[in-house]
Structure 1
Amino acid sequence: MKILIVEDQRKLGLFLKQALIERAYTATWVGSCAEARDALCETNYDVIVLDLGLPDGDGLALLREWRSAGFNEPVLILSARDAVEDRISGLDVGADDYLAKPFSVEELLARLRSLLRRQSAVKETVLQHQGVKLDLLSRTVHLNGQPVDVTSREFALLEIFLQNPGRILPRTLISEKIWESHYDVDTNLLDVYMSRLRAKFEVPLGKALFKTVRGVGYQLI
């Protein structure tokens, strides 16, 4: 599941991103309205965590803009504005939930899980390809019916491929979605994780699943 964090406080934004990644979600952090618009143009997200006090605009206006444009994904407002009137305004504009700062990270994660469960009623939550089955809700992976143990990062990497079968994924794209920076990929850490996926899936299957596109990235075939 992909989560977009729109939060102008760098420290908090990176903290939330890391907390989500550690729980096997794919998280992206941006710090302004403009960056949020760009992020949504580039890819789809399953849920958005939205701060209201942004440096280049108001979060409520941004949310109103999204809803007017037909964006229906769940949005959780995370804001220091904790008056009842503020909560009502946020929900009336189109937010699906509202959490005031300061907050408990565990409560935030619980609320996100709740929003994702609601989305599961209308979204595909099981991804399958060539005998590989990945369940986004239970966070489990099976190969031809047999469970496969994967790390949270391997799960996130596999999720990206299963969401884009046949598509050549550039190394930079994978880096942005899985790691904090491009540096890790430059040190061949991505190749290490791809070797692990191949050992866990290609070896038992006896056939190739992942194709290396030299100078570009990888492809699920």
Structure 2
Amino acid sequence: MQILLVEDDRILCEFLEQLLRRDGHCVTISTTGFAGLEALRTGEFDLMILDRMLPELDGMRLLQQVRGEGFTLPILMLTALGTPADKVEGLDAGADDYLTKPFDAAELLARLRALARSRSGGYGVLVRCGDVALDAAARLLTGPVGGCEVSGREAALLAFLFRNAGQVLPRELLLDRVWGADSEVEEGNLNNYIFFARRRLLQVGSRVQIQTVRGLGYRVCEC
């Protein structure tokens, strides 16, 4: 999923970015309320994680603004304010879920999966390309002859490739979007995951192919 994280604690941002990217998500970080609102207005996101105590524009006001402008993406409030009254206020303002700090990483990921499923009628974020469809949250790839489960990293790679079908995607861009700009992942890992992705497409009987563009990167096309 494409996740917008609005949080001003930079150490927590680094932790969450690594956690979410390891789980196969793409993450955009905003450290102020106004920056988060601008990112949402100009980008495309499947889900938002929102702190409540933010500089410039606090989380509650940002939440109300977002809902007032008609954005319907799921929003998880992640905050240190955890009294029952705080939770009620956040949920009534438009949050879909409310999790207090400190939190368990596994619980956070489970709540995100639940939000993706509930918003899409039991399925996750569906990305289509030719004769194949990827449910990124459920990690299910479906094609002409059936479906197969994929890992979180495979789902992130396939989702980015499918969303940019027909374009030549440089290796550096794929490493940045799937693993993160600060990741120490080696290019050999990308080669391995491209191999896995091609094998998955064959497994579901798809005509979609991931072509190698020598010296540049990869391109997805339907043959």
By the TM > 0.5 criterion, same fold?
Answer: yes
Map of 1:50 onto structure 2: 50
Which region of structure 1 is more displaced relative to structure 2, 188-197 or 153-162?
A: 188-197
Q: Which residue of 2 aligns with 1:71?
A: 71
Amino acid at match of 2:48: I
Give the stretch that moved more between structures: 63-72 or 27-36. 27-36
For 1:152, the equivalent position in structure 2 comes to 152
User: Partner of 1:112 in structure 2?
Assistant: 112
TM-score (norm 2): 0.77
The 1:191–1:30 alpha-carbon spacing in structure 2 relative to 1, beyond 3 Å, is farther
Q: Which residue of 1 aligns with 2:93?
A: 93
Identity of aligned residues (%): 37
C-alpha contact (below 8 Å) 1:26/1:156 kept by paired residues: yes
TM superposition shift of 1:75: 0.7
User: What is the CA–CA distance in structure 2 between the aligned matches of 1:34 and 1:66, rounded to whole Å?
Assistant: 11
Structure 1: segments with no counterpart, 5+ residues: none
CA distance in 1, matches of 2:185, 2:215: 13
Q: How does 1:1-221 map to 2 (within 5 A)?
A: 1-121=1-121, 125-142=125-142, 144-145=144-145, 151-167=151-167, 169=169, 174-181=174-181, 193-194=193-194, 197-198=197-198, 201=201, 209-210=209-210, 218-221=218-221
What is the count of residue pairs matched by the alignment?
Answer: 221
Whether contact under 8 Å (1:213, 1:219) holds in the other structure is: yes
Which letter maps to 1:3? Answer: I
Q: Secondary structure at the match of 1:165?
A: coil
Q: Structure 1's 174 and 214: CA in aligned 2 closer, same or farther, altered over 3 A?
A: same
Superposed CA deviations along residues 156-214 of structure 1, whole A, max 9, x for unmatched, are 11111223434555666545431321786996865665466456648x98977345678
* SS of alignment partner, residue 34 of structure 1: helix
The 1:123/1:193 distance shift into structure 2, 3 A limit, reads: closer
Comparing 132-141 with 43-52, which one deviates more in the overlay? 132-141
Gaps of at least 5 residues in structure 2 are none
